[in-house]
Amino acid sequence: MSDFVDRVSVHVKGGDGGNGSAGIRREKYKPMAGPNGGNGGRGGSVIFVADPNANSLLDYRFMPHRTAGNGTMGLGDTKDGSQGEDLRLPVPVGTVIFEAVGGVGESKKPGTLLADLRHAGDEFVAAAGGAGGLGNAALANKTRRAPGFALLGEPGDERDVILELKSIADVALVGFPSAGKSSLIAAMSAAKPKIADYPFTTLVPNLGVVQAGDVRYTIADVPGLIPGASQGKGLGLEFLRHIERTEIIAHVIDCATLEPDRDPLSDYYALEKELGEYASELELPLGAIPIPERPRVIILNKVDMPEAKELAEFVRPEFEKLDLPVYVISTASHEGLKELNFALAKLVSQMREDVRAREAAAEEERVVINPLDPTMGRQQPAGKKGFVAGVHGNDSSAYGAGAGRMAGGRGGAMPEFTIEREDDGHGNFWWSVRGRKPERWVMQTNFDNDEAVGYLADRLARLGVEDALRAAGAHPGDEIQIGRGDRAVAFDWDPTIAAGAEMLDGTQLGQRGSDLRLEEESGRGRRRTNAERRREYHEMMDARAAVRAAMAAERQAGHWADPTVDDDRHDETSLFGRGDPEEYESDESGE
């Protein structure tokens, strides 16, 4: 089995952020000295790095699931949790990363282009780690002095990506099977590809490094090119992608073929047709030279045989009429290899300068397009009633259909959230809230803590979600969904919800998250004086004496029974027995 893999699907997941801590500092004479919970650590990220020492994606075929380290939870004494370790995954230079498209159980196909790692050291964060949750020490302020909750860590990003290797070589060798491409690489470099005298011997692209004086360049072959390869015939379609990054295309033509319908010119035109059809479907990166414009080199191989030598000399003028440089070689006798080597080195040096100039010019001409205001002509999907809360500044009355509250930025404002009314077609409907901030806040909330839920409600209200829901037509009790997919949270909307310390006495007295036990007005926020202690002690003793006097009066009035007297002699469960046995016997005899 070959150890070369040039396309693989990988499932990546960033590390989860650690939860914040809700600790309380305790000191002598200060049972509630204040919050001291630390923040949770950030989760690690999954990062693909272009490594010149990597030459295959084989490792990811056997280990397709990669996960970065999680952040740890915050601790007391304001100790933050440690950050998760990033997972850096080396990939060959020339790897292209696509978003994987396909349902569950279906084969994944390349979707949106995410990154193109064309140079050594290029990096791409495929799955970012989740942020750590804030501890209650970070959540405390002058109005919320003792938060009894902390924020949860955010889960890391998780998705499927497709890695596709497009070999970056200076010279690409194209030709029919058994034309001698592998033999040429073996003769010009230290590579040891498999060589045999039957078609499709080479099943994977071979790469070799060639030294010509002070110039070092790489050559690669594209195996199995035959007529119809661009439509998937043979092996060509599988490996044609490796020609996209090459700067020079060299046609290796077999002058000793015995097939009756083949000759050097027909082989050249047949392969050029396949390259042209394949090139028409390519989306080249900035600065790349289109395949039809790349220089061609004709290599007439196997001239160690007399018939091949004559044929090469016969067709050479025909190629020169096309302004194509022609080199007559033999990989068996090494005839003409030195001239070919230095000619390719010179051409490679020229093309490298041309490519650098093209990339610089393309980078200067790049146009950065800032997003426009989405409230202008935004169309809603069929079957959904859209609503845009177009809040600017403190103007809560500026609502229009389709967008959310606006966040300022260059090139126009962007909506902080959107609200849409959705239904399932059976009379059930709900309001969907979408936006980076609301979705993030929901993931950070511990719904088992009422004070944390109240804090979430306050954040959503300050963002303008509640006002936007009212303006959109939502009523208390309607179902609200915040988030997408498995991370969505659904609840019944109650705009007057109150939770946590502000509801200790049953009434809403202050802001959510405030603690009445620490308020100055309650008398608990400072130490008592000696006079206050004496006064409270005497009040407590007087209250106890009054209770004892009231209980004695009730007992004398007959409202209370004396537990030391057995006044119910028929009570078999009495703790003092059934009374005097002789008295019972006299009663039973009737005396």
Per-residue pLDDT of 294-322, as tens digits, reads 888 999 888 888 888 888 888 889 888 88
Confidence of residue 563 (pLDDT cuts 50, 70, 90): low
CB 167, CB 179: distance < 8 Å: no
d(CA 535, CA 466): 49
For 322, residues 6+ apart whose C-beta sits below 8 A from its C-beta are none
**Token reading at 331:** 């990989």
Q: Please give the backbone phi and psi of residue 362, each rounded to the nearest 5 degrees, phi first.
A: -65, -35
Q: 179 versus 22: which is more confidently predicted? A: 22
pLDDT at 390 > cutoff 50:
no
Report d(CA 109, CA 189) in Å as an integer. Answer: 36
> Are the beta carbons of 147 and 139 closer than 8 angstroms?
yes
Least confident range of 20-24, 102-106, 407-411, 502-506: 502-506
Cα angle for residues 444, 445, 451 (degrees, 5° grid) = 145
Kindly list the distances between the CA atom of residue 369 and the CA atoms of 112, 116, 366, 411, in Å, as whole numbers in the listed order: 19, 21, 10, 8
Q: What is the spatial distance between Cα 431 and Cα 406, in angstroms, rounded to a whole number? A: 19
Summarize the confidence of residues 210-224 as an average pLDDT. Answer: 81
Q: Is the pTM of this model over 0.75?
A: no
Distance CA 409, CA 413 (A): 6
Distance of CA 38 to CAs 69, 78, 278, 522, Å?
19, 4, 57, 28
| Residue 489 vs residues 13, 404, 466, 469: alpha-carbon distances, Å | 21, 19, 16, 16
- Residues of the chain with pLDDT > 90: what percent? 17
Give pLDDT, residue 288. 65
Phi first, then psi: what are they for 514, rounded to 5°? -80, 155
Nearest to 332 by CA among 480, 471, 184: 184
Contacts (Cβ under 8 Å, ≥6 apart) of 121? 49, 50
Over 70: is that where the pLDDT of 449 sits? Answer: yes
Q: What is the mean pLDDT of residues 44-59?
A: 89
Residue 238: its pLDDT value, please?
A: 54
Name residue, tokens 């609840």: 491
* Helix and strand totals (H; E) in the chain: 12, 21
pLDDT, mean of residues 503-531: 52
Q: Residue 389's pLDDT is what?
A: 41
Min mean pLDDT across 214-228, 239-253, 271-285, 502-516 is at 502-516
Q: Which amino acid is at 15?
A: G
Q: What is the arithmetic mean of pLDDT over 564-588?
A: 54
Known binding site for GTP: residues?
175-182, 200-204, 221-224, 301-304, 330-332
pLDDT digits 0-9 by tens, 237-250? 455 666 777 788 88
What residues contact 413, with CB distance under 8 A and at least 6 apart? 373, 392, 406, 407
User: Is the per-residue pLDDT at 400 higher than 70?
Assistant: no
Given pLDDT bands bounded at 50, 70 and 90, which one contains residue 164?
confident
Q: Which of 269, 259, 260, 248 is nearest to 315 (CA)?
A: 269
Q: Residue 564 — pLDDT band, cuts 50, 70, 90?
A: low
Q: Tell me, what's the pLDDT at 357?
A: 81
Q: Residues annotated in the binding site for Mg(2+), as ranges?
A: 182, 202
What pLDDT, on a 0 to 100 scale, did the predictor assign at position 85? 94
Q: Which domains does the chain have, with CATH numbers?
A: 7-165 (2.70.210.12), 169-362 (3.40.50.300), 417-493 (3.30.300.350)
Give the number of other CB atoms < 10 A from CB of residue 215: 16
Q: What mean pLDDT is reported for the chain?
A: 76
Please count the CA atoms within 13 angstroms of the CA of 434 that sit on its side-chain side. 16
Does residue 310 sit in helix, strand or coil?
A: helix
* Banded model confidence at residue 395, pLDDT cuts 50, 70, 90: very low
Query: Which of residues 387 and 557 earns the better pLDDT score?
Result: 557
Map residue 242 onto helix, strand or coil: helix
pLDDT of residue 268: 86
Residue pair 140/43 in contact by the 8 Å Cβ criterion:
no
Number of Cβ atoms within 10 Å of the Cβ of 579: 15
Q: Average pLDDT for residues 387-393, to the nearest whole number? A: 38
Residue 209 pLDDT level (bands cut at 50, 70, 90): confident
What DSSP string describes 110-159?
EEEEEEEE-STT-EEEEEPPPPPPPPHHHH--SSS-S-S--PPPPPPPEE
**Nearest alpha carbon to residue 273 among 265, 284, 261:** 265
Q: What pLDDT was estimated at residue 404?
A: 55
Condensed to tens digits (0 to 9), the pLDDT of residues 335-375 reads 888 898 899 999 988 888 887 887 777 666 666 555 554 44
Please state the separation of Cα 5 from the chain's center in Å: 25
C-alpha–C-alpha distance, residues 551 and 557, integer Å: 10
For residue 273, give the 3-state DSSP assignment: helix
Cα separation, 460 vs 438, in Å, equals 7
Q: Does residue 123 have a pLDDT over 90?
A: yes
The answer to whether the beta carbons of residues 37 and 150 sit under 8 Å apart is: yes
pLDDT of amino acid 232: 46
Is the pLDDT confidence value at 436 over 50? yes
Tens of pLDDT, residue by residue over 9-34, are: 999 999 999 999 998 888 777 666 78
Neighbours of 561 (CB within 10 A): 10
Of the candidate ranges 129-133, 155-159, 529-533, 537-541, the one whose mean pLDDT is the lowest: 529-533
CA distance 477 to 15: 36
Bigger pLDDT: 302 or 259? 302
**Is pLDDT of 230 > 50?**
no
Confidence of residue 1 (pLDDT cuts 50, 70, 90): very low
Better pLDDT: 246 or 328 = 328
Question: Which residues are annotated as part of the binding site?
Answer: 175-182, 200-204, 221-224, 301-304, 330-332
Residue 161's pLDDT band, with cuts at 50, 70 and 90, is: very high
Contact 432, 380 (CB under 8 A): no
Residues paired with 124 in a beta bridge:
48
pLDDT single digits (tens) 571-582? 565 555 544 555
Q: How far apart are CA 212 and CA 279, in angstroms?
A: 30
Q: What is the per-residue pLDDT for 192? A: 67
Q: What is the DSSP letter of 580?
A: -
Q: Could you tell me if 147 and 22 are in contact, meaning their C-beta atoms sit under 8 angstroms apart?
A: yes
pLDDT at 522: 45
Over residues 466-482, mean pLDDT: 86
Q: Which residue has 């022609």 as its token pair?
A: 326
More confident site: 490 or 507: 490
Torsion of CA 445, 447, 448, 453, to 10 degrees: 80
* Residue 571, both tokens: 């009570």
C-beta of residue 34 within 8 angstroms of C-beta of residue 140: yes
- The tally of CA atoms less than 13 A away on the side-chain side of residue 446 is 20
- For residue 513, is pLDDT > 80? no
Q: Does the structure show a pLDDT above 70 at 66?
A: yes
pLDDT > 70 fraction of the chain, expressed in percent and rounded? 70
Contact 246, 294 (CB under 8 A): yes
- Residue 457 makes CB contacts below 8 A (sequence gap 6+) with 497, 499, 512
